[in-house]
């Protein structure tokens, strides 16, 4: 199976001045993110405004980004919603255009029981040869996938890990203890990466790696080398930036930050809007205290 990597960026989707997907800019951003520390990219996830993209736009993004980056990094396609049959179809399409892995998000709105979650993810995984990463994000779905369900799913061969953004560190500890030994846990929140990796987590699916990817990778490397004190200091140093990126709904702040530093990704699509004046100033003020790792076009 493809090597997915420890530092994954949940990539924004650039739009042009007409609100259309800017595929050329997406390819430039993908390579810039790999140049600044990322091992792979989630395409059309939450940060990529997946819910507002058409199926055709998603498939084209997977294919064009993969073609642009080649074997430099993994493309992890966010292909699922609360419709199992449609999720299977999009997952097959993503595999067909070269995606390296799939991100399988806990369904929102229809609130399946835990058995429904198990059957949903089992069916999607069975439809593809690609490695699958589960995604638990209770703040957006209003539904927690329990550690028991995650551990059960870890026994399916091509379900290789989980992006955990439920912010329940005890639940994450139980997953790390009880899942198959080769099952990986990525932090789903930048401000929790240090804690989750300290317990044995593998890495992070990051929003802030858009800006400080090399610095996040350095923090992770210090921890892996056993220098907990220096890693903790880096975590504390980066924490204000981790927090301000969520002063309004993601990806509103990170898109504003990218535009502010000169890497144009356009406005969000409705129903998301640009940040309020207050939020924009907060983002800019905090960002002014950091060096940006992302190479910005001249």
DSSP 270: T
Domain boundaries, the chain: 7-287
At 281, list the tokens: 């100033």
Q: Which residues are catalytic?
A: 135, 163
Q: For residue 75, give the 3-state DSSP assignment.
A: strand
Question: Comparing C-alpha atoms, which of 114, 127, 57 is closest to residue 87?
Answer: 127
Please give the class, per CATH, of domain 7-287. alpha beta
**Which pLDDT belongs to residue 139?**
78
**Which pLDDT belongs to residue 2?**
54
Distance, in Å, from the CA atom of 50 to the CA atom of 43, rounded to the nearest integer, reads 8
**Which pLDDT belongs to residue 146?**
95
Give the distance, in angstroms, between the CA of residue 190 and the centroid of all CA atoms in the same chain.
10
Distances (CA, A) of 43 to 26, 72, 232, 238: 10, 15, 30, 24
**Which pLDDT belongs to residue 143?**
85
Residue matched to tokens 């317990």: 199
Distance, in Å, from the CA atom of 60 to the CA atom of 68, rounded to the nearest integer, reads 12
Distance, in Å, from the CA atom of 297 to the CA atom of 59, rounded to the nearest integer, reads 26
Backbone angles phi, psi at 157, to 5 degrees: -55, -45
- Residue 219 CB-density burial (10 A; 0-12 exposed, 13-18 middle, 19+ buried): buried
**Which pLDDT belongs to residue 225?**
95
Distance, in Å, from the CA atom of 115 to the CA atom of 127, rounded to the nearest integer, reads 19
Backbone angles phi, psi at 205, to 5 degrees: -100, 110
Residue 110: how many CB atoms within 10 A of its CB?
Answer: 10
Q: For residue 198, give the 3-state DSSP assignment.
A: helix
Distance, in Å, from the CA atom of 69 to the CA atom of 40, rounded to the nearest integer, reads 10
Distance, in Å, from the CA atom of 21 to the CA atom of 106, rounded to the nearest integer, reads 26
What is the mean pLDDT for each group of 10 consecutive residues in the chain (298 residues)? 85 97 98 96 96 97 97 96 95 97 94 96 97 91 91 96 94 96 96 96 97 97 97 98 96 98 97 97 97 91
Question: Comparing C-alpha atoms, which of 207, 215, 193 is closest to residue 257?
Answer: 207
Detail the DSSP E strand segments found in 48-94. Answer: 74-78
Residue 296: how many CB atoms within 10 A of its CB?
Answer: 11
Backbone angles phi, psi at 215, to 5 degrees: -70, -40
């Amino acid at each position: 199976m493809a090597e997915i990597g420890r530092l994954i960026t949940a990539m924004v989707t650039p739009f042009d001045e007409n609100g259309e997907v800017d595929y050329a800019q997406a390819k430039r951003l993908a390579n810039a993110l790999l140049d600044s520390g990322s091992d792979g990219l989630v395409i059309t996830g939450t940060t990529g405004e997946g819910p507002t993209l058409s199926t055709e736009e998603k498939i084209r993004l997977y294919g064009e980004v993969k073609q642009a980056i080649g074997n430099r990094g993994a493309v992890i396609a966010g292909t699922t919603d609360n419709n199992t049959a449609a999720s299977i179809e999009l997952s097959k399409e993503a595999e067909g255009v070269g995606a390296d892995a799939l991100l399988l998000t806990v369904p929102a709105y229809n609130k399946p029981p835990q058995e429904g979650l198990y059957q949903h993810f089992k069916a999607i995984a069975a439809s593809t040869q690609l490695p699958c990463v589960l995604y638990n994000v209770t703040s957006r779905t209003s539904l927690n996938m329990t550690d028991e369900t995650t551990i059960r799913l870890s026994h399916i061969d091509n379900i290789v890990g989980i992006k955990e953004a439920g912010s329940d560190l005890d639940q994450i500890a139980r997953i790390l203890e009880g899942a198959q030994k080769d099952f990986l846990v990525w932090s789903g929140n930048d401000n929790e990466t240090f804690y989750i990796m300290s317990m044995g987590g593998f890495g992070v699916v990051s929003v802030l790696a858009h800006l400080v990817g090399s610095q996040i990778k350095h923090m992770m490397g210090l921890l892996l080398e056993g220098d907990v004190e220096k890693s903790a200091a880096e975590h504390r140093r980066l924490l204000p930036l981790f927090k301000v990126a969520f002063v309004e709904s993601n990806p509103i702040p990170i898109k504003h930050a990218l535009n502010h530093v000169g890497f144009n990704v356009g406005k969000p699509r409705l129903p998301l809007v640009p940040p309020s004046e207050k939020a924009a100033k907060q983002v800019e003020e905090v960002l002014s205290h950091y060096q940006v790792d992302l190479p910005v076009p001249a």
